[in-house]
Structure 1
Amino acid sequence: MIFCLFPEPVLGITRHYKFNIKLQNVTRLCHTKSIVSVNGQFPGPRIVAREGDQLLIKVVNHVPNNISIHWHGIRQLRSGWADGPAYVTQCPIQTGQSYVYNYTIVGQRGTLFWHAHISWLRSTLYGPIIILPKLGAKYPFAKPYKEVPIIFGEWFNSDTEAIIKQALQTGGGPNVSDAYTINGLPGPLYNCSAKDTFKLKVKPGKTYLLRLINAALNDELFFSIANHTLKLVEVDAVYVKPFETDTILIAPGQTTNLLLKAKPTYPNATFFMSARPYVTGQGTFDNSTVAAILEYELPPNVRSNSMKKKKIPLFKPNLPALNDTSFATNFANKLRSLASPQFPANVPQKVDKQFLFTVGLGTNPCPKNQTCQGPNGTMFAASVNNVSFAMPTTALLQAHFFGQSKGVYTPDFPIDPLIPFNYTGNPPNNTMVSNGTKLVVLPFNTSVELIMQDTSILGAESHPLHLHGFNFFVVGQGFGNFDPINDPKNFNLVDPVERNTVGVPSGGWVAIRFLADNPGVWFMHCHLEVHTSWGLKMAWIVLDGKLPNQKLLPPPADLPKC
């Protein structure tokens, strides 16, 4: 056993991938449409790497649309040029052009995903990122028999680009999806989709690691497997203190790893694995359920044809009610960082800068000589601190790096609401937002505390907020208006969950902390695509530090031009 004493090689390897962006005909719900795909696959190919590996992913655009790909949850330390949100860290890849995303996975292992980050193209452009531990490193739980990615999506019979284009023109709410999918398949509860069902075959007594990813456009989802208990071990590629649950809640942009222990003997039944939305807002939504099937392998002593003649029972899970906010709250409160010596929770204990951001909906006036379909003839908008973010026509990171911000952005994003009001009480009469491209500038290594406060303007709603370039610690959450005197007394600074996307509770607030140790321009936005389109987004500039390894690297030569 002498060889155990030698440390494993810390250097990773370089892995090459090629993403050809091309149109592909795909049929679901008896509707065939041409979708934008990677390599003709839907969902897209999975990226597998180990912690410490370098990835070189060449994206070649063969479609008419502009393309940009985001590697959701990857820290991108000093490699912000590879982060992917269009007009934030890069100009998009135009038709016939290509770009190599070059980044190294540092200090991360677990389940993440990649998706398009321009307009609504991520409805079909998405796939798993599976980061295995370094060679020789173990999971903090027994090694599973098999690992299975389960990626939730949303299927629209019509073209999603046309849907959002029309909505932004009319100012109304966009049409909703026609189905939810599991690994691209809607399953037996939808019209003519029994053949399009994901089936998970398991062996009795074995343990399976399910890597869940919510790549849906606009819906948080409850998920459960009939008659089975799940053990939750990781969220957003960070290990948590394991706990057992029948049901999980997963917002767009979030990932969740579950251990499923198959029953010890053949159960003589099949089981639905189902998901349906958690809905808090007042808008229309896709009120349907996606199901996959959990099947047990027959014991070797049973001839399968004798079993096939018998109809075996199918069990369905009981999912929470559509608006079960108390489940959402209790579930969020169970999530705690593992906070072990090997996987510590480095929660910032002191705070350099505090921010209070309101997040929610609002309106813009209807243009002259036009009728609009938003509230009272206005146009729907969304904002952070009442600033609805206007996307620039050139990339923010380039403007920052080359000192050419004039006319592109201003560094004056409000650190708290300019006009305080009773955020979760009766909404004010004036629901108009301001519009602009404003950023917050942070010195390197600033310790940040951010309170995100939902508002009741046009209805309180849960907002899954995603921060690029960082993980953050969720130190507190509550309902009503944040109380700066009393609420911080209850903050968890010992083992709060660490993640990259967090739900701002409907009619409540969430408090996060992070250390701004990654120079660049980092997008923060609601991961409900409709709200992002309406302007519920902003960006942080983190300045370079003094040391060479604290500075953003220069842009790659093939960085796309606008």
Structure 2
Amino acid sequence: MVKVLGFVVLFISLIHIASGKVHHHKFVVQSSSYTRLCSTKNILTVNGKFPGPTLKAHREDKVIVEVYNNATYNTTIHWHGLKQLRNPWSDGPEYVTQCPIQPGKMYKYTLDLNTEEGTVWWHAHSGWARATVHGAIIIYPKRGSSYPFPKPDAEIPIILGAWWKKSVMEIPENANRTGGDPILSDAYTINGQPGYLYPCSRNGTFKMKVDHGKRYLLRMINAIMDENMFFAISNHKLIVVGKDGFYLKPIETNYIMITPGQTMDILLEANQPPSHYFMSAKAYSSSIGAPFDNSTTTAIVIYSGSYHKPIHPIAPPLPSHNDTQASTEFTKKFRSLASKHHPVSVPTRVDTHLLFTISVNLLNCSSDEHCAGPFGKRFAASVNNITYVHPSIDFLQAYYYKIPGVYEIDFPINPPKKFNYTADDLPEYLLTPSITTSKVLVLEYNSSVELILQGTNVLAGENHPMHLHGYSFYVVGWGFGNFDHKKDPLRYNLIDPPEVSTVGVPKNGWVALRFRADNPGMWLMHCHIERHQNWGMTMVFLVKEGPSPQNQILKPPEDLPKC
């Protein structure tokens, strides 16, 4: 890992296909000094901003991103929620689709916005850099089209983040050295500010000014490293109309639960008596005994006009941190729009059935060390009892150039160990995962896939936000306990299931996903709780190429980074 002070430069070109216009933007990711919670430290930022700048384009546009890295560490950028059709070279996760961009080097990403519409986001995908290197991507309807909901009077990105007083980039190294949990954040943030309730942060609290009677589109992103979040605005209803770059049937709610990695489009009607109102967010932590940042971040909705200002903003009620019922009551409402202009295409016949267990595990420490995990052991995590191991060269180059010995193709399609996955008391031998070389799971091109993600109670059950690169998928079913192959498919929603790229697997429960494997390449799937990903709750799909040039991987770019 290279530690050189400096900055990363990103040049953005938005090429509008319909109009022929070319828009050039220069972004700079640099080491910037920020003051939060009465302390000052340097963090990686884009153009000196935390969060980074918002990118805007229309559906069917193309985005060219040149990344110049003069940063303190190696870097990559992932375009979360973009499918990158036939172009895994621009997906971004280090050692999967590319080697990291080293300091002093440049790499150009090409993004085709073919199917996505709404809010997605970009973030670093190397170490813990994404804690501060992230920003929104707004994809408007293609030219000549409109929103499938009332047009908002204004739009506001609302990005949930976290803040550490200590150096973020040293967190995973320190945690790996002890084998224990990474240190907790000192605060959550809304648009970079901890908010009214934190010391030294009252004056910097993000303020959203509204006019009575107008409608606002909140483009919400959970960029927090480790926590699912409850969010609400006092005295106001929220109308959720989109998720992960796809539209939903409108959901009216008093609160939302949003997992790390997820985005939501939310309409807010400014229809309350003019005053000051808190928007607040705090953690939903479903795992018994797992540490979490138990604080609340706030911003203020301020109505324009003359009125008596309250001494303190009005605060909204939020569910308790362990309220799984509240989380479930919200997430079970998701339905795709399933309209003429926004149809669904759920595979109704499946030829590839997969079942993955996802678990938090423990590993024995060596005889000369004392680890800080439970029972003096080291934390690990797994998919189908396999803990992911980074190769020394990225999977995609190894596949494309036929480099042997980088990965194996025998990732199991079912759990190697079958047991009562969600039982209260599980035998100790289940705590230890298999430690293997890097494995991938091969999917035939255009195969129709059903994937059951089964949470387990190994060590402790938890809500796991699982993100699949290169694809969106339909969530056709979910439930608590163990998936029942005979009974549960009878309850599937094959009419209007939500289409997403990140899904929360409920604590000690399961979700059923369906997608068509029509995007060739190497594609990462992982838990978006960062400590779980670092511990190994990650796997990789290898989707084979199709028979014609139109369904084969594009040639690698000339500036592809070297390992």
TM-score, normalising length from structure 2? Answer: 0.95
Look up the match of 2:347.
348
Give 5+ residue unaligned stretches, structure 1: 1-7
From 255, 264, 269, the counterpart of 2:275: 269
From 282, 289, 300, the counterpart of 2:296: 289
Look up the match of 1:554.
555
Would you say the 8 A contact 1:271–1:294 is kept in 2?
Answer: yes
Shift of the alpha carbon at 1:128?
0.4
Query: CA offsets per residue over residues 84-132 of structure 1, 9 Å max, x none?
Result: 0011100000011111111211022100000000111100000000111
Would you say the 8 A contact 1:73–1:113 is kept in 2?
Answer: yes
Distance in 1, matches of 2:208 and 2:49, equals 20
Look up the match of 1:514.
515
Shift of the alpha carbon at 1:368?
2.9
Would you say the 8 A contact 1:268–1:312 is kept in 2?
Answer: no
| AA matched with 1:105 | L
Distance in 2, matches of 1:60 and 1:26, equals 22
Look up the match of 1:254.
262
SS of structure 2 residue aligned to 1:418: coil
Query: CA offsets per residue over residues 356-377 of structure 1, 9 Å max, x none?
Result: 1000101122123111111211
| AA matched with 1:113 | W
- Answer yes or no: is 1:451 the counterpart of 2:458: no
Query: CA offsets per residue over residues 359-403 of structure 1, 9 Å max, x none?
Result: 010112212311111121111000000000001111111101111
Shift of the alpha carbon at 1:9?
7.7
The 5 A counterparts of 1:191-230 are 191-230=199-238
Look up the match of 1:323.
322
Look up the match of 1:423.
421
| AA matched with 2:350 | V
Would you say the 8 A contact 2:95–2:391 is kept in 1?
Answer: yes
Distance in 2, matches of 1:312 and 1:180, equals 23
Shift of the alpha carbon at 1:79?
1.2
Would you say the 8 A contact 2:17–2:62 is kept in 1?
Answer: no
Look up the match of 2:185.
177
From 126, 130, 133, the counterpart of 1:125: 133
Would you say the 8 A contact 2:382–2:538 is kept in 1?
Answer: yes
Shift of the alpha carbon at 1:12?
6.8
Look up the match of 1:526.
527
- Answer yes or no: is 1:75 the counterpart of 2:83: yes
Shift of the alpha carbon at 1:18?
3.5
Look up the match of 1:3.
none
Distance in 2, matches of 1:208 and 1:171, equals 45
Distance in 2, matches of 1:193 and 1:313, equals 15
Distance in 2, matches of 1:269 and 1:147, equals 20
Give 5+ residue unaligned stretches, structure 2: 1-15
Shift of the alpha carbon at 1:164?
1.4
Look up the match of 1:5.
none
Look up the match of 2:146.
138
Look up the match of 2:410.
412
Shift of the alpha carbon at 1:311?
4.2
Shift of the alpha carbon at 1:15?
4.4
SS of structure 2 residue aligned to 1:164: helix
State the identity %: 50
Would you say the 8 A contact 2:17–2:61 is kept in 1?
Answer: no
Distance in 2, matches of 1:129 and 1:158, equals 28
The 5 A counterparts of 1:318-397 are 318-397=317-396
Would you say the 8 A contact 1:268–1:313 is kept in 2?
Answer: no
From 235, 246, 254, the counterpart of 2:243: 235
SS of structure 2 residue aligned to 1:241: strand
Look up the match of 2:494.
493
Distance in 2, matches of 1:16 and 1:507, equals 48
Look up the match of 1:280.
286
Look up the match of 2:5.
none
Q: Would the alpha carbon gap of residues 101 and 15 (structure 1) be closer, same or farther in structure 2, given more than 3 Å must change?
A: farther
Query: CA offsets per residue over residues 456-505 of structure 1, 9 Å max, x none?
Result: 11111110000000000001011111111111110111100110000010
Equivalent residue pairs, number:
544
Distance in 2, matches of 1:399 and 1:481, equals 37
Shift of the alpha carbon at 1:312?
5.6
SS of structure 2 residue aligned to 1:174: coil
Shift of the alpha carbon at 1:19?
3.5
Would you say the 8 A contact 1:20–1:61 is kept in 2?
Answer: no
Shift of the alpha carbon at 1:435?
2.0
Distance in 2, matches of 1:358 and 1:11, equals 48
Distance in 1, matches of 2:311 and 2:369, equals 59
Distance in 1, matches of 2:138 and 2:550, equals 27
Q: Would the alpha carbon gap of residues 129 and 268 (structure 1) be closer, same or farther in structure 2, given more than 3 Å must change?
A: closer
Shift of the alpha carbon at 1:419?
1.4
| AA matched with 2:408 | T
TM-score, normalising length from structure 1? Answer: 0.95
Would you say the 8 A contact 2:230–2:318 is kept in 1?
Answer: yes
| AA matched with 2:351 | D
| AA matched with 2:463 | S
Q: Would the alpha carbon gap of residues 441 and 12 (structure 1) be closer, same or farther in structure 2, given more than 3 Å must change?
A: farther
Distance in 1, matches of 2:274 and 2:80, equals 40
Question: Which 4+ residue blocks in structure 1 deviate beyond 3 angstroms?
Answer: 8-19, 310-313
Distance in 2, matches of 1:9 and 1:286, equals 45
Query: CA offsets per residue over residues 39-61 of structure 1, 9 Å max, x none?
Result: 22211111111111111111111
- Which range is displaced more, 133-142 or 518-527? 133-142
Distance in 1, matches of 2:367 and 2:259, equals 38
Query: CA offsets per residue over residues 221-268 of structure 1, 9 Å max, x none?
Result: 00100000111100111100012101011001100111101117xx24
Q: Would the alpha carbon gap of residues 9 and 68 (structure 1) be closer, same or farther in structure 2, given more than 3 Å must change?
A: closer
Would you say the 8 A contact 1:70–1:85 is kept in 2?
Answer: yes
Distance in 1, matches of 2:46 and 2:303, equals 32
Look up the match of 2:11.
none
Would you say the 8 A contact 1:21–1:59 is kept in 2?
Answer: no
